[in-house]
Structures are given as C-alpha cells and as structure tokens.
Amino acid sequence: MAIIVKKFGGTSVGSIELIRNIARRIATGHQPGDSLVLVVSAMAKTTDDLVQLAYGISDHPSRRELDMLLTAGERISMSLLSLALQEEGFASISFTGSQSGIITDDKHGNARILNVNAFRIHEELAKGKIVIVAGFQGVSQSKEITTLGRGGSDTSAVALACYLKAERCEIFTDVDGVFTADPRCVENPWLLQEIGYNEMLALSYSGSKVMHPRAVEFACKYRIPVEVKSSFTFAPGTMIHTIEHKQGKNMEERKITAIAHKEKLLGYVLERSEALIGLLKNWHDEIFKYFVEDGRIELIIEDKYAGEVNYALEQNHIPVLRKDLGIGYVTLVGLGINLDPGWLAATLEVCVPFGVSRIQHSDQTIELMLPSAEVKNCVQALHNAFLGENK
C-alpha cells in the first residue's frame, strides 16, 4: 500500500467551491488502497491579509508573533478541507505542523526543517484516515511555532513525502505543469511531460514560479518524484524525476529544455565591507544573483524585496554606489549546453534586438541580463528559435 502526498496551494483552496472540488476528486489518479496525506497552504491572500494586519500595528513586528499569527491561515484551510472530505464520506483528520512532527530550527519566518517525527500521521493512516497537514509551518525544539518562509508549503510536502517514504508527491497548482516557457509570456509553449531534477532546479532558481527552488532542491537531494498538475482539472502534469534517456540515435546532442525569466529586478552596486558580509549571512531568497568584480559587490534582487533590502542597508550604514532599475533576466536551461559554445553563438544571433547587456553561464545555463521591457520579446524569440516545434 503506497503513501501519496498531495499538496494544494493557496489558489487551489481559494474558496469553499474549490475546496469542495478537491474533496470530490481526491480519489482521482491513484489506487483505491493508497494512503493519502494532503498538505495545504492558507487560502489565497489569507497570509498577505494577516501580514497586512500585523504591519498595521507595528512597522517591524516580532518574527515570533508574526509566525503565531500567520499559522492561523493553514489552520483555517486544513479544517475546512477536512470538513469537506467528511461531507464526501471520507474519514479524515487535520494536523498542524507541530502535530505532524515537523521539527525546525528556531529562525522565525524562515525556519529550516531539521527532522520529521511523523508517528501521529502513521497512526491515523493506519486507521484508514486521510491526513491533512498544515503546510508552511513547523515547531522548534523549544516548542515555538515557526514558519518555513517562502516556498514553505511545497517544502513541507516534499519533506513529508521523503520521511513517509511516499511513492510520490503531487503538487496541485493553478497551472497544468511545467512549460517550455511561461505561458503568460510566450505564445506557443508546450507542457513538459517530464524534466530532470537538476534542470528543474535551475529553472525554478531562474524564475519558473511553478515550484520554489528550495522544495526542488529537497526533491533533488532525496530523489522524491514530484508531479506538478492542475488542481482544477486533476489532469496529468509534469513529472520531475530522474529521466530515463533512452539509448538511440544522436546520443551526444545537446538541447535547450526550457527558458525561465525574471522581469522586475533591481541591481545594487556596493562596496565590499564587513557590515555587508554580515548581512549576506542572514539573507536567503533576497539575493537572486550576485556578481563580484574588483572589490565591488553587485546584488541583483527582485523588486518585492526592495523595501527590506533598502532598510537593511540603511540600518547598517552601507552606502549604495549605484542602483540599477528595470533589470530583467532570461535563462536558457539545458544539460551540458556550455560544453558547446555554438549555443552561445546562436543565442547572440537571436538576441541582437533586445539590448542584452551581460551574458553569463554555468554548465547547464546561459543567463542574459537585459532591460525589463525586452524580457517578453526576448523569451519569445529564443523560444521560436530553440523550442519552436514540440521536439
């Protein structure tokens, strides 16, 4: 009897109707005897609303109390989903992160998972119940309630799948899976049936919003097969797993798998200083890219972090030598593409019109920096050139 972990994000549990839809279709796509563990986020916007309430009271609310407040969000969605399942005739029980045994360190607001003691989940599964777990939250070793930071629910789901030795983890979301490029940006993208762990890690790191890089990293490290699929249609989506490349013709061919982008970025050019190095130690998702040259440190961040980054730099008296606005990044991902400089040549040819100011690379990525306003056109042009026809 296999255990399947299914995770439903905020938009998937965004209304009573959507929650009922999940309850009605929960048995889709697996064997009747399988055990189900459902990980839920807070209903769409709940977390943002709660954050806003807190900032209405304090400009810099205590992280501990903020965690206490925010964890109310999943408590609401998980109990509603449990009620909906019971209405459909299923036996179910909901657990907080703490009740589920998700043990974290004590970094409020951005805790990391240390261990999972899932005996209560196992007990309830043994009784034939569907277990619903609050994503995004855990408990520290000193019994304080913590939250896992951005991408937290995905990370909860993948970590639970790992500890429960689940057959797979299914991430239900508001898109059909992982596409060759963002469908909101490109005309003719196609759904990838499967993608390897490391390519998915590069893709999510470079702007694909389907899964948070931290959750992909977890899946990659512990080899948890993850399926990303639509919570509206429950149709087959994209499998993230170890790809079985078949032996066949043209085995050394190198291909672009997909294109990711980030559109709204800022660049800070800063003098190297001990204060800055101290700050770097406490940052996580804030830094998208860094680039150090001749003692100056350039940090590229998403504009949503501008407030906190500005505040931190000011508080630590770190002067900003230059601030660049309106930066975009487009990243081509494909295993081994930089063992063949022909891909750089082809990229340069396609990108003439888009004002690309910088190109860097790793062994499996080519990364273009360009003005925000050119990002969509550039992604479309690269997609036409390298991914125009479905295989």
Judged by DSSP in three states, 370 sits in strand
Q: What is the Cα–Cα distance from 367 to 371, expressed in whole angstroms?
A: 13
**Exposed e or buried b for every residue in 307-344, given b needs 16+ CB within 10 A?**
eebeebbeeeebeeeeeeeebbbbbbbbbebbeeeebe
Cβ neighbours of residue 349 closer than 8 Å, sequence gap 6 or more: none
Q: Name the residue nearer to a second copy (CB basis): 159 or 318.
A: 159
Q: What is the Cα–Cα distance from 257 to 255, expressed in whole angstroms?
A: 6
The least distance separating a second copy from the CB of residue 345, rounded to whole angstroms, comes to: 4
Q: Name the residue nearer to a second copy (CB basis): 90 or 283.
A: 283
The least distance separating a second copy from the CB of residue 261, rounded to whole angstroms, comes to: 16
340 binds a second copy (CB under 8 A): yes
193 binds a second copy (CB under 8 A): no
Task: Dihedral sign for Cα 95, 98, 103, 107, please.
Answer: positive
User: 30, 112, 122, 264: which one contacts a second copy (CB under 8 A)?
Assistant: 112
The answer to whether 327 and 371 have CB atoms below 8 angstroms apart is: yes
357 binds a second copy (CB under 8 A): yes
321 binds a second copy (CB under 8 A): no
Q: Name the residue nearer to a second copy (CB basis): 113 or 258.
A: 113
Task: Look up residue 71 and give its two tokens.
Answer: 């964890």
Q: Name the residue nearer to a second copy (CB basis): 18 or 382.
A: 382
Alpha carbon 205 to its chain centroid, in Å, reads 8
Cβ neighbours of residue 247 closer than 8 Å, sequence gap 6 or more: none
Q: Name the residue nearer to a second copy (CB basis): 223 or 323.
A: 223
Q: What is the Cα–Cα distance from 370 to 315, expressed in whole angstroms?
A: 31
User: 65, 167, 286, 303: which one contacts a second copy (CB under 8 A)?
Assistant: 286
Size of the site for a second copy (CB under 8 A): 69
User: 8, 136, 172, 218: which one contacts a second copy (CB under 8 A)?
Assistant: 218
**Exposed e or buried b for every residue in 56-89, given b needs 16+ CB within 10 A?**
eeeeebeeeebbebbbebbbebbebbbebbeeee
| Residues 74-93, mask of contacts with a second copy (x by CB under 8 A) | --------------------
Please give the order of strands across the beta sheet that includes 145-147: 113-116, 102-104, 137-140, 145-147
Q: Name the residue nearer to a second copy (CB basis): 132 or 160.
A: 160
190 binds a second copy (CB under 8 A): no
283 binds a second copy (CB under 8 A): yes
353 binds a second copy (CB under 8 A): no
Q: Which residues of the shown chain bind a second copy in the complex (CB under 8 A)? A: 112-116, 159, 162-163, 198, 201-202, 205, 213-214, 217-218, 220-223, 242, 244-245, 247-252, 272, 277-278, 280-287, 289-294, 297, 335-336, 338-342, 344-346, 348-349, 356-365
